[in-house]
Amino acid sequence: MPILPIDSGRYGSTEIRKIFEENSRLKYQLEFETSVAMAQAQIRMIPKDAAEEINNAVVANLVSLERIKELETISEHDTAAVIEALSEQCSSTTRPWIHYGLTSSDVVDTSISMQIRDVLVLVESKILTLTETLLDKASKFASQPAVGRTHGQHASIISFGLKFAVWSLELAKHLERIEEGKKRYLICKTLGVVGTGSLMGERALEVQNLVSKKLCLFPIDAGTQVVSRERLAEIQFIIALVGCTLDKIATEIRNLQRTEIGELSEPFKTGQMGSSAVPVKRNPIKSERVSSLARLLRPLVIVSMENIPLWHERDLTNSANERFTIPMGSILIDEMLSSMIKVISELRVNRDKITANINLTDGKIYAEFVLDELIKKGIPRFEAYRDVQRIAFSETSLTFVDAIRQDSKLANLLNEHDLARIFNPHNHLAASIKIITNVSKLVNRTRRKMSFNNYSK
């Protein structure tokens, strides 16, 4: 019976959960074992017939998970149980060459890299989809003036589309990080007990290079019995970093969906319930889920960093928790991306409310531009600043523009043509459209690099 929600299928796609199922983990390990044997046979380190028999046993699925579990109850060593179960399916002349020159950490660490390799295929695709979906929204709302807020207060005019462009850009940067970092954390190791390749001798690196190429991984340059945990900490950090960006997007959506703001809202399908008690509520539950899971992702980075200082050439203090952190991080980020893709794709934007919110302060949002116009007319900055603040903070029922018209000093400096230009929100989008265009070009470059990298593999 499932205990954790990721076991029950509540979170994560079927494809990503399959990567971490027990049968899949076994397949990764057996693929590694046969890849090593075939590489060793290729350079005549072990007999060719032995490598072929090992490969045939793996391809024919002769090694069962049930038998491995039986053997593990005796040896209390999961990798040893895999090797023993494989040995049972091979002849006595082949058995000495199974797992030749390897240690269990070679199997475990390279299998983890294979899992991460396949996770990233799914995750990168979803990041790219979300990046492009956000970019579409950025283009659609590029010319829509909106309230820009700092410290939770109205600050100045912003292009509503610029919000989406900023998010799209950061996700594109995450794709760059993932691609650039693969050579560090998609690592293959076949160098044995203490990282010297002891039993394989001087040709150990040749074997490792062949296996790495076969598995679409990168050979480790140096390690101990294990791949240094800095590698796993880095990918765990990148996953959490992507999660933080999704949390940032979700937080903004949740804020803009507040009843008092109402500029956008999550999709709400027919029959959906926002509250069991209040029928009229449309709660931003998908965005809240993203923020909630992000809080679970971030501490996984701390655990992965704690795994870096192992004793001597290795100990087992990292092993048990990595059975949690790597699958959890991967499955949760997959779930968060899927949720956010749906939210952004079907996002409801209320242009009327966006415009109404600009006018919420009776024109005070244009204070920056009033100040700028006064400076351009020769008024010293701080004198102009105090004049604008004096009028803005005065207790009056007048709108900001009418208060300026009635001010004896500013009325002589700002004519009706100036005021009409200043108090038009469409005049204050500045470089927004150009910025969004530049982000679009950057995303397109990132997409092309990804396609090239995938093709090159």
Which residues are designated catalytic? 151, 275
DSSP percent split of the chain into helix, strand, coil, nearest 5: 65, 5, 30
Residue 99 contacts by C-beta under 8 Å, 6 or more apart in sequence?
Answer: 33, 36, 83, 107
Helix (H, G, I), strand (E, B) or coil at 145: strand
Concatenating the DSSP letter of every residue in 80-93 gives: HHHHHHHHHTS-TT
178 vs 259: CA distance, rounded Å: 38
Angle, helices 285-306 vs 230-256, to 10°: value is 160
358 vs 240: CA distance, rounded Å: 35
Structure tokens at 304: 């992965």
Going by C-alpha positions, the residue among 393, 401, 432, 403 that lies closest to residue 418 is 401
Strand partners, 188: 219
Going by C-alpha positions, the residue among 229, 227, 247 that lies closest to residue 239 is 247
Taking only Cα atoms into account, the Rg of the chain, rounded to an integer number of angstroms, comes to 30
H or E segment at 349? strand 348-349
256 vs 57: CA distance, rounded Å: 58
Q: Where are the alpha helices (DSSP H) in 198-262?
A: 204-214, 230-256
Other Cβ atoms within 10 Å of 41 Cβ, number: 19
H or E segment at 297? helix 285-306
168 vs 440: CA distance, rounded Å: 9
With left for phi above 0 and alpha for psi between -120 and 50, is residue 427 left, alpha or beta? alpha
> What burial class does residue 151 get, using C-beta atoms within 10 Å of its C-beta: 0-12 exposed, 13-18 middle, 19+ buried?
exposed
The length of the chain is 457
78 vs 115: CA distance, rounded Å: 18
- Tell the residue number behind the tokens 């396949």, with chain if given: 118
Checking DSSP bridges between strand 187-188 and strand 153-159, what pairing results, if any?
unpaired
CB 344 within 8 A of CB 137: yes
